[in-house]
Amino acid sequence: MENTAPSDDQEPTYMDLLDDKAADDEAEVAARDGGEVFPTIPIGPASAPAKQPRLRLRQLPEDEFDKAAAAVTRV
């Protein structure tokens, strides 16, 4: 198996530095919150949720109320 680490007489290449930076970034992320991973949240004009209609409650007439009460007691 070939060792890809630069020898003492070689200058590190751009890819070596990039790998070191990626490893440092991964170590920093793993150190946060005990290594727990959280999903990313997209931010932009299309990321806001659409408004949902509110539930509107109304007073039931007595006969509808009795039917609803009977249905609830059956469940």
pTM above the 0.75 mark?
Answer: no
Q: So what's the pLDDT on residue 5?
A: 58
Name the residue ranges covered by the structural domains of the chain. 14-72
24-37 pLDDT, tens digit each = 887 787 777 677 77
Q: Which residues of 9-19 are buried (b: 16+ CB within 10 A; e: fewer)?
A: eeeeeeeeeee
